Structure 1
Amino acid sequence: MISPADKPALRSRMLGLRREAARQWPAAGEHLARNFPDDWLPAAGTPVAGYWPLDGEIDPRPLMRRLAARGHPLCLPVVQGQGRPLVFRAWTDGDALLPGGLGVMEPLADRSPLKPGLVLVPLLACDGSGNRLGFGKGYYDFTLAGLRAAGPVRAIGLSFESQLLAVIPAQAHDQPLDGLVTESRALDFRLS
């Protein structure tokens, strides 16, 4: 059993595994896009929050292009500061991006804020109950808590299959994922 005290070492190990998976499977994002279940899509026209991949994260852009082609406005996260939730700004494939907080590529400040009904979430690891291991700053936890308090939103993790672990310890503030999509399959945690 992994304890919360073990999380820093686990993060380091999972970051290495993720980078290796990205080197071995450069087309994994294309497979992931095909594995995303149609019945997980929100109502037509509902904004979808993606992310710009960094540091070995599985590439969500093929899936984001698929969702945009189905009429979903896209947005990307913007870091507001430590302890604050992310905001999402409109983004269209080809728009200029600037490096923001933590080196994350963000839409320009003049882009409209959007409230997503579907959030595609990057991660270091995930377990079969939807517990997610990120970098420990809590950005997605704060953000998902706020979005869920305001109305229905679905949070779907995107990862390589090798990032799936048996158990990740959850703390009171952790927001579970509703599902996970990898290059191999989709897992619906709401059915667990």
Structure 2
Amino acid sequence: MNDLIETKAAARAAAFSRREAAFANAHKAQASYLSEVLAGYRGVPIAGYAPMRTEIDPLPALAEASAHGPVGMPVIKAKATPLDFRDWTPECDMIEGTFGAFIPASGNWIEPEIVIVPLVAFDRKGGRLGYGGGFYDRTLERLRARRATLAIGFAFAAQEADALPLEPTDQPLDMIVTETGIITPA
């Protein structure tokens, strides 16, 4: 198990470095492919995220989607639990939540059918390396036990890895969207 932890730590460090370089060169249209994908799901409840640090920014695509249906933002309620999602609009008041992520200050809770997933690294098989807390894996497992739930990884193309150290509890991505295109896992 220690080898897997060390391997994941090394993969995260390399991916953070690639993401930081991509973030430095980010452009305003980086969410255009995400907007294109979400346009095909108008009215379907969607969960996104408010970017932090060097994450790619999904907010322009989420703002568009919010004009056609509910959009939620993740809220961490406790360590080692699934995320819950609070209703979000571009105009809503945001407050700092756990780990510095901004969340809606108030609002109804929604259950998404599509989850836009932030990540540290991805591979073309739909593998995802996150921050290590397991929040999205637990969340996707819970949602998928209730109904079909589409998990869309959103990342800079530079975050792609040839292979990732994955565990059986890691939930796969159904699609990866980058600033350069759309990837359907093989």
Distance 2:35 2:177 in 1: 6
How big is each residue's C-alpha offset from its partner over 1:92-135, in whole Å with a ceiling of 9 and x where there is no partner? 10211111111111112x31000001100000100011110011
Aligned counterpart for 2:126 among listed residues 111, 118, 130: 130
Q: Give the secondary-structure state (helix, strand or coil) at the position aligned to 2:109.
A: coil
C-alpha RMSD over aligned residues: 1.7
Q: Give the secondary-structure state (helix, strand or coil) at the position aligned to 1:56.
A: coil
1:12 alignment partner AA = A
1:33 aligned onto 2:32: yes
Deviation at 1:13? Answer: 2.1
Distance 1:179 1:161 in 2: 13
Distance 1:95 1:40 in 2: 22
How big is each residue's C-alpha offset from its partner over 1:39-72, in whole Å with a ceiling of 9 and x where there is no partner? 8843x42211010001110000111122223x12
Distance 1:90 1:39 in 2: 17
Q: Give the secondary-structure state (helix, strand or coil) at the position aligned to 2:103.
A: strand
CA contact (8 A) 2:39 2:65 kept: no
Distance 2:156 2:101 in 1: 20
Q: Give the secondary-structure state (helix, strand or coil) at the position aligned to 2:66.
A: helix
Identity across matched positions, percent: 34
Shifted more, 11-20 versus 158-167: the winner is 11-20
- With normalisation by structure 2, the TM-score equals 0.92
Distance 1:179 1:38 in 2: 10
Corresponding position of 1:178: 174
Cα distance, 1:36–1:91 mapped onto 2, change above 3 Å: closer
Cα distance, 1:72–1:39 mapped onto 2, change above 3 Å: closer
Deviation at 1:37? Answer: 4.5
Distance 2:50 2:38 in 1: 24
Corresponding position of 1:46: 44
Distance 1:146 1:23 in 2: 35
Distance 1:103 1:39 in 2: 26
Corresponding position of 2:164: 168
Cα distance, 1:177–1:51 mapped onto 2, change above 3 Å: same
Distance 2:165 2:14 in 1: 16
Cα distance, 1:102–1:146 mapped onto 2, change above 3 Å: same
Corresponding position of 1:16: 17
Which ranges of structure 1 fall in alignment gaps of 5 or more residues?
A: none
Cα distance, 1:40–1:145 mapped onto 2, change above 3 Å: farther
Q: How many residues align?
A: 183
Aligned counterparts, 1:35-114, within 5 A: 36-38=35-37, 41-42=40-41, 44-69=42-67, 71-108=68-105, 110-114=106-110
Which ranges of structure 2 fall in alignment gaps of 5 or more residues?
A: none
2:184 alignment partner AA = D
